[in-house]
Amino acid sequence: MSIRLPRGTQDILPGDVEKWQLIEKKAREICEKFQYHEIRTPIFEQTDLFLRSVGDTTDIVQKEMYTFDDRGGRSLTLRPEGTASTVRSFVEHKMFGYANQPVKLYYMGPMFRYERPQAGRYRQFVQFGVEAIGSDDPAIDAEVIALAMSLYKEMGLKKLKLVVNSLGDKDSRQAHREALINHFQPRIGEFCSDCQNRLEKNPMRILDCKQDRDHELMKFAPSIIDYLNEESKVYFNKVQQYLTSLGIEFEVDSNLVRGLDYYNHTAFEIMSDAEGFGAITTLCGGGRYNGLTEEIGGPEAPGIGFALSIERFIAALDAEKVELPLNNGIDCYIVSLGEDAKDYTVGLLNKLRQAGFSAERDYLDRKIKAQFKAADRLQAKFVAILGDDELKANKINLKSMDSGEQKEMELASFIEEFTALYRN
């Protein structure tokens, strides 16, 4: 049997990878503008990090982690998400001591979850995420949301829906928790075994259950909004006020709870309502996680962030049929005729490249017609034609593929002449 790629993974080939690169570039540009700085953490971490931060009642920890023992008997896990590692690093490197606060970080890289593969759901996927740690100003919540929205909009997405909610502070959540337990307890036997386990440990997670989402008790479950204390309400109102002043439209959805345990106050999701996007519409999720740094052994430092996957980003771009500025074409293709000319193009090609142009030549000893075809396939803007006769006369022909115009140039000054013509 031939070897294939592992289930739930994909090869991203030339032709597709350009889309990825565009998104990655745009993400970096926006982070620069918003002053978020890249952090790169290991692909695997001690398993305990995720148990403590993501939480042991979540789908991720219960079902989705790639956990293994290394040869030294340590339990390691391929990272399923980026916040835990970022906060671990924040604590480990004492970033709470940095002069610049809050510390604003971003990451981009592969995450691993053992999920049932389907459209928009992979076992290895790439997340871009940001974290702002060290401030509980609601303006930073709005900034983080604005950053994600800018990225989607600047890439050309229009059919976006931003949904926000507040999960409240500790006290609000405690009151809500009791209400949820009272609500679900009498009929918890009708729910999946996960929900039964969650009832005491983390009943809010029941609201996010994918299996029991249509159970009638879900429809009128106690809403966190009704349990927010004064402080949490004020905070949530401020976030909404700032979003409005940023011109960002949103809906409040009191049923929005996030998949991970560590969230409080602001929670948000950005979805695509493009037609034909399919069942999974969430592009991006994030929220506030005051208390996570302490969970990981650091001092108190309130944080907020989001994560989005490039896979779903691209699916949304495809669903909206956004035309991306791809396939620019190369600057110059060198066609040669004759042995001496062919030898000469080795150096000439290199000079073009050194002068900053994308350039290519033939490596298959093709006939002149086939070389022109290759130039077409590469969408060459110019074709330089060098035959043995021209070489002897120290000349070269340059053809503009746009206008069809052809021009003879001195071989010795070809790079300068080409540069001047190209810049025109």
379 is in an annotated binding site: no
64 is in an annotated binding site: no
What are the DSSP calls for 117-157, one per residue? -BTTB-SEEEEEEEEEES---HHHHHHHHHHHHHHHHHTT-
CB of 300 to ligand ATP, least distance (A): 24
Pick 259 or 329: Cβ nearer ligand ATP: 259
- Say if residues 112 and 124 touch (Cβ distance below 8 Å): yes
As a whole number of angstroms, the distance between CA 163 and CA 141 comes to 13
360 is in an annotated binding site: no
Out of 143, 311, 320, 362, the residue judged to bind ligand ATP by CB under 6 A: 311
263 is in an annotated binding site: yes
Pick 296 or 378: Cβ nearer ligand ATP: 296
- Using CB under 6 A as the binding rule, whether residue 307 contacts ligand ATP is answered as yes
Burial (CB count <10 Å: 0-12, 13-18, 19+), residue 211 = exposed
Out of 121, 183, 238, 353, the residue judged to bind ligand ATP by CB under 6 A: 121
- Using CB under 6 A as the binding rule, whether residue 308 contacts ligand ATP is answered as yes
Pick 223 or 282: Cβ nearer ligand ATP: 282
92 is in an annotated binding site: no
- Using CB under 6 A as the binding rule, whether residue 259 contacts ligand ATP is answered as yes
Out of 202, 309, 336, 371, the residue judged to bind ligand ATP by CB under 6 A: 309
For 389, residues 6+ apart whose C-beta sits below 8 A from its C-beta are 338
With CA atoms as reference, report the closest residue to 269 among 283, 255, 258, 285: 285
With CA atoms as reference, report the closest residue to 314 among 102, 21, 108, 81: 21
Residue 371: CB atoms within 10 Å: 21
Pick 104 or 312: Cβ nearer ligand ATP: 312
- Say if residues 86 and 105 touch (Cβ distance below 8 Å): yes
As a whole number of angstroms, the distance between CA 144 and CA 302 comes to 14
- Using CB under 6 A as the binding rule, whether residue 283 contacts ligand ATP is answered as yes
Site string for ligand ATP, 54-93 (x = CB under 6 A): ---------------------------x------------
178 is in an annotated binding site: no
As a whole number of angstroms, the distance between CA 49 and CA 55 comes to 9
- Using CB under 6 A as the binding rule, whether residue 156 contacts ligand ATP is answered as no
- Say if residues 34 and 276 touch (Cβ distance below 8 Å): no
Binding site for ligand ATP (CB under 6 A): 81, 113, 115, 120-122, 125, 127, 259, 280, 282-285, 307-309, 311-312
Binding residues for L-histidine: 81-83, 113, 127, 131, 258, 262-263
